[in-house]
Amino acid sequence: MIVHAFSNKVPGKIISLDYTLNTKTDEVIKTKPKKLIKNDVAMVTIKVETKIVLELGKNNRSMGRIALRDGQTTIAAGIVEEFIY
């Protein structure tokens, strides 16, 4: 999987699916889901192989957006909520 962030393209890996959310109420629907389906909104932990320039989505909207791609297919898009070192 390739993580696209601003003008960066780096290999990455999904480490964990933390929880799914109800978009209308921001309520946690399920913790530690086994899978996600189309149109699910979830908190996901991703590890990138190399350092890249990112910003939290709340601080800078354009620098805080990422997309996950598998080949030519976009499999997910999201906003950076937190950094874990």
Task: Tell me the CATH number at 18.
Answer: 2.40.30.10
The answer to the question of residue 44 being in a domain is: yes
What would the pLDDT profile of 22-58 be if each residue is shown by its tens digit? Answer: 999 989 999 999 999 999 999 999 999 998 889 999 9
pLDDT for the residue numbered 7: 86
pLDDT for the residue numbered 62: 86
The answer to the question of residue 63 being in a domain is: yes
Q: Is the pLDDT of residue 6 over 90?
A: no
The answer to the question of residue 85 being in a domain is: no
**Share of residues in the chain with pLDDT > 70 (%):** 100
Of the candidates 43, 37, 39, 38, the residue with the CA atom closest to the CA atom of residue 14 = 43
The answer to the question of residue 84 being in a domain is: no
Give the chain's domain count: 1
* Structural domain of 46: 2-79
pTM beyond 0.85: no
Residue 85: which pLDDT band, with cuts at 50, 70 and 90?
Answer: confident
The answer to the question of residue 14 being in a domain is: yes
Say how many C-beta atoms besides its own lie within 10 A of residue 21's C-beta.
15
